[in-house]
Structure 1
Amino acid sequence: MTHRLPGMAGLLFVLLTGLVEPAAADQVCAIDDSGREICLAAPAERIVALSPGATELLFAAGAGERLVAVVDHSDFPPAASELPSVGSHDRLDLERLVALQPDLVIGWVTGNPAEQVERLERLGVPVFRIEPRDFEGIATALERLARLGGSGAQGRLAAERFRQGVAELSAIHEAAPPVSVFYQVWDSPLMTVNDEHLIGKAVTLCGGVNVFGDLSRLVPRIDEEAVLAADPEVILAGGRGEESRGWLADWQRFPELRAVARDNLFFVPPSLLQRPTPRLLEGSRRLCDRLEVARGRR
């Protein structure tokens, strides 16, 4: 008997190891936009999104039904508005959030309060940080979120449709005559974007030349004198909500601007350009259409 015990112990070890290994193999892992690999024992069942963009990406990736909470201004798709809020993207109600017992939180790399997010992690809540900075980043975000949310096939399909749409736009406008563009993000203070910003990349995709593209900050502050000196052929504005709130009309004070003289003052709903989600494709199409109108007015 004494010689058989080690064999039985070894067999037990093998059996127990066999039970553990499949669980490890079943893990779902993805690398977030901060460069960290996040692994879950199984696809998340209870997800909290800490930005409107993250909410929209999760729905687009097919994992929207697993969302249990969002933050303020998460208004797309309409189903997102029905979910409870755990504060704003820059000030979270941690007590309420933790009470929902999420098994995954989708954070924004630069948009959420670092101290609160780190506290979540200390409490053992996995946080997957995203912040797409280009078109491909949106596609891979869809794929990664779908993997973590158990909707891999839907996410891959959504990503491929998005990539195909971007490629089609690029092919249409790659040889288009360039158009100088000023994109207005905000009015007071006056703000724009550089070429590294996703909106700047949309301008380039459409054959536009961002007059402030070389500035170092993603969202630089400028003044009216800088816009007058650049004399863009087109002025594009976002706005508060889905309206320009008179931003474009205000430029009529400068009839010497080419954009004003040619009536190339255009509005694109900010939700279509200022959120890094699949709807950026629709926003880019509208932007491209506006630049094509400007070409026709030369």
Structure 2
Amino acid sequence: MARDAWIGLSTRIFVAACTACAALATGTACAATISAVDDAGETVTLAAPAQRVISLSPHATELIYAAGGGAKLVGAVAYSDYPPQAQSVPRVGDNRAFDLERIAALKPDLIVVWRHGNAQQQIDRLRELHIPLFFSEPHRLDDVATSLTRLGALLGTQKTAAQAALAYRRTIAQLRTRYSLRAPVKVFYEVWDRPLMTINGEHMISDVIALCGGRNVFAALRPLVPTLSTEAVLAANPDAIITASQGATAPDQPLPALAHWRAWPQVQAVARGNLFSIDGDLLTRPGPRIAQGAAQLCEDLDRARSRDASTAN
């Protein structure tokens, strides 16, 4: 290449680089992008932090608010009721049936999808809108903090998200230190009674049970939420039976959801009065408030330990 031509090319490259640097310095549009890996293992890339976000799961709504992106939420599904301000966000259907026209009209630049909770056919139609999708489905307690930081990156709220993740991790670590090495308690977690359903060891609630020093008596079953017989529960003879309720239940009040187990007083959990119900929103939604549900479950299992000791004496 001739010397003059080389100098000309070098000059143009230098000017272009300076222009890009200036754009970055002044906050104007530039070619930089942001990305995060979602719970489907896919990399979600945006040209700039999301400004108009739609949540298609109540737990995702909680994660978005906790990560600092609540003001950017322009649509959410039914039952997105926490924090309280989420109740005023326009609805775009529920987890099974989306209003696709409404979603498109809201012009989102990011949609947070519940990976296995939203119907696949609906997800396929969402893809046709060519709007970035972030699949959210935390499986383990530690995944909640990871979800916060990843969403914070896409929302441009990294500082708030990092603080929320740190606070969550601290709470979980404190509970683990306090309870995980205490005397083990055999736990049966009842998801539903007709048919009788529970959770296996891969479920986040099983993580919570272990955090509290409990042992999920059906951890080895398959699938994630297996169906089982009453006889299987009787054979497992759990020390405590736990379920989720629509609202918090005082520990010593009658529990209608578990009343059917009183027909089998030979079960340790029944004999010792270890039938516990915890607010489902704090235990079944894989968001930051699961730390509150975990604290309640740990207290219940400690109560079961004390009753065990008093029985032994």
TM-score over 0.5 for the alignment? yes
Deviations along 1:176-223, one digit per CA (max 9) or x if unpaired, are 010000111112221111111000010011110111111021111112
Shift of 1:50: 0.6
- TM-fit CA distance, 1:243: 6.4
Partner of 2:55: 49
Count of residues in Structure 1 that have an aligned counterpart in Structure 2: 294
Measure, in 2, the Cα distance between the counterparts of 1:275 and 1:52. 8
The separation in 1 between residues aligned to 2:87 and 2:19, in whole angstroms, is 42
What is the distance in 1 between the residues matched to 2:91 and 2:16? 43
**114 and 175 in structure 1: CA distance in 2 versus 1, 3 angstrom threshold:** same
Quote the Cα distance in structure 1 between the aligned partners of 2:141 and 2:298. Answer: 15
Q: What TM-score, normalized to structure 1?
A: 0.92
The equivalences for 1:195-274 within 5 A come to 195-239=201-245, 241-242=246-247, 246-274=256-284
The separation in 2 between residues aligned to 1:216 and 1:242, in whole angstroms, is: 29
How far 1:145 moved relative to its partner? Answer: 0.7
CA deviation map 1:128-177 (0-9, x unaligned): 11111111110000001111112110100110111111111111113201
Q: 1:115 to 1:17 in 2, by over 3 A?
A: farther
Structure 1 counterpart of 2:295, one-letter code: R
After superposition, the CA RMSD in angstroms is 2.0
Query: What is the rounded CA distance, in whole Å, between the counterparts of 2:47 and 2:89 in structure 1?
Result: 25
Asked if the contact 1:186/1:238 (under 8 Å) is kept, the reply is: no
Structure 1 unaligned spans of 5+ = none
2: distance between equivalents of 1:122 and 1:237?
Answer: 39
Q: 1:138 aligns with which of 125, 134, 144?
A: 144
Letter in 2 for 1:228: L
Secondary structure at 2:188's aligned position in 1? strand
Partner of 1:39: 45
Q: Distance in 1 between matches of 2:20 and 2:106?
A: 29
| 1:296 corresponding residue in structure 2 | 306
Amino-acid identity (%)? 43
Cα distance in 2 for residues equivalent to 1:99 and 1:9: 46
In the superposition, the TM-score normalised over structure 2's length comes to 0.88
State the Cα distance separating 1:19 from its structure 2 match: 5.0
Superposed counterparts of 1:12-31, under 5 Å:
15=15, 19=19, 23-25=30-32, 27-31=33-37
Q: Which runs of 5+ in 2 are unaligned?
A: 25-29, 250-254, 309-313
| CA distance, structure 2, for counterparts of residue 10 and residue 122 of structure 1 | 43
Alignment check: 8 A CA contact 1:130 1:141 kept: yes
2:185 partner amino acid? V
Report the Cα offset of residue 120 of structure 1. 2.4
Give the AA of the match of 2:301.
Answer: L
